[in-house]
Structure 1
Amino acid sequence: MHSYAIRAASMFDGFDLSGPTTVQVTDGRILSVDRTGAAPTGSRDVLDLGPRSCLLPGLVDTHVHLAFDAGPDPVAALVKTDDAELLTHMRAAAQSALRAGVTTVRDLGDRSYLALALAEEFRRQPELGPEILAAGPPLTTPGGHCHFFGGEVEGAEALRAAVRERHARGCAVIKIMASGGHMTPGSVAPHDSQYTLADLRVVVEEAHGLGLRVAAHAHGVAAIKNAVAAGVDSIEHVSFLTGDGTTPDQDVLAAVAESDSFVSLTLGLDPRFPNPAMSSPHASVVLDAYRDLHKLGAKVVIGSDAGIGPFKPHGVLPYAVSDLVQLGISSPREALAAVTSLAAQACGVDGRKGQITIGADADLLAVHGNPMEDPAALLDVQAVFRAGVRIR
């Protein structure tokens, strides 16, 4: 039995900040949490992180694409790469996320179920990468958004069969493209719906019957309304696009906020690279909608969409916490919860991930500074632990 203690000057446990803390780790799990600042007992092996340290749960990114290389044209790169090489690239992407302190990722779209293969690798050797909660190829209409992943399907029975196949293979979540998107030439516009409300209800009913959650990609207002009405577990992007641009409807905002669905906001940019979407005239309208959703009480988490371009490298999630605060969407405490405890709830792994508590996995991040005062402290990584193993 391998046991050791970690001492930190402060701790954010997924909910609140406290002072000097000692966390005892045994065989990859948290055995005890002592907030008195007392020296640990019963452990010869003590790691003291020093006077500026803050210990947090490992971060949880609710929306990534490990199969995208974060290059200038990730779709073209994907299409010309065979599965063996793609798996190698995905492994490197996952490791980049882990080094940034992202210890759990929800992969919402890959090819050939490669994220499942990688998840199994990391289950056997968790120190090699984050825990991956894989969706497999996302459900999309023929020729629809991200059809190149191989998840084209239409019709109620085919949708039910697709959900059952993903469950049988071991997927952790079902991803469905309720609307079009920005990365698939020739498919419907991002504001147009790809599936009907009836289709979405079929997928939710089948998935929930099998114990799986459903994440719906939804840019368009109609798709957002349908996703809420169908009872999906998380709505991705939530851009409120219409044929005339971006128009957040107050009734739809209220419906989203009052629903049981988590809202996975697409935030987090590497400042070294420009993001054309942020210079769009619609960007400020989307950000206003995000602020309104938070004010109305929506369950806001962050899905970085890592991989979709140079401004979205794998491991970009820590930047998103600063975004939430600087854009006036939430407080620092709420922003930190959005990438730890609340994100774990959205992914169905709460209790085990996203918090520092007895019995949770020892997936931990230590930074220099106080992220409650300055969320940018998350970028000053001191140490990362995965299943109790220090990997940085």
Structure 2
Amino acid sequence: MMLAGKRILLGVTGSISAYKSALLVRLLVKAGAEVQVIMTESAQTFITPLTLSTLSKRPVLSQFVANGQTGEWTNHVELGLWADVLVIAPASARTLARCANGLADDLLSAVYLSARCPVFFAPAMDLDMYQHPATTANLARLSSYGNHIIKAEYGELASGLVGEGRLAEPETIVQVLAAHLAQRPELAGRHVLITAGPTQEPIDPVRYISNHSTGKMGYAIARAFAMAGAQVTLISGPTALPLPALGVRRIDVRSAQEMFTAAAAEFPTADVLILNAAVADYTPVHVADRKIKKKETEFALELTRTTDIAATLGAQKRPGQWLMGFALETDNEQANALSKLQSKHLDWIVLNSLRDSGAGFGYDTNKITVMDKAGQTHAFDLKSKDAVAQDLLDLVANALTAPSV
């Protein structure tokens, strides 16, 4: 979503890992970006311009003079002004040296010198080349100019050696670019604490009480805030979802009590607490240490209330902290949500209704209504959970920058 409509120059240089640029172009285009590929002459020995022009839906550029008969030339200055981001991936040792020393003897290095946008280098080369003092000095110099380095990864290299030098995976490069473009200054350095997923309340070593939460909404929120520059701590119940974004600190818990303990420990340093987890309201009083055998026709469990995380932490809220809770309702939706907003000292309550098609557990979409302590109601249409997360981020960011009353 963060890459939609963004104009990205992709420089591809002479490295065996140039073949990965095809997947990188595909991922960028799929994310909605406009991609213009520039190839060095040596890059074309590893992957053809036809492949990348087909995927990018634009002619690949490689020469200053695009048409030798007419004298039509490629304006490197216009390209540098056109782009929102220039990413050189793979960046060979030769290209790093060219750019670090201000040479403009090919189209890509000339575009680099003309670019006014953020520039990212993703180096790729053999182990000894990557560790050579000349390469490390060039990377340090490029970084000192304000460029961004996407570090090479550890693994088996084309030479057969094992070590650092592999091009960062295309998915990682896309994530780094998206995170940069999503930065929000008002969230920089803010500690955002988020709970997500279900809890599991054990009955015996085999069975537990839980709910249908997948964690998708909470993980989307964590991803949005992390990409916007916040320091995100995600307290997650059991879920199969991967880490939502680079830099997110995830604390895995299982039960409601474990989630409360983790949230209470992190809350004092949090600027924003977003309670999205579907936490069990009740837990078994007694947990059997062995599997309960099937004997009787009927079986009863004695349950006790779990700690209300929102109410407990809401009562401890200090000035300057912001709390957002969630309410999944099936009837009297707004009345029940407003009651939670007020009784738990929240700043916002996000209402989901199971009556809305495409909302609730398991879906990739959601439809929310947000009510705040000032009495305002914000209703949103059905949209992807990533888009919903962005709406919630906007509400929080606006509150953080609003003048104190």
Common topology (TM > 0.5): no
Q: TM-score, normalised by structure 2?
A: 0.28
Which of the pair has more CA radius of gyration?
A: 2
Q: TM-score, normalised by structure 1?
A: 0.29
- Structure number with the bigger relative contact order (C-alpha 8 A, sep ≥ 6) is 1
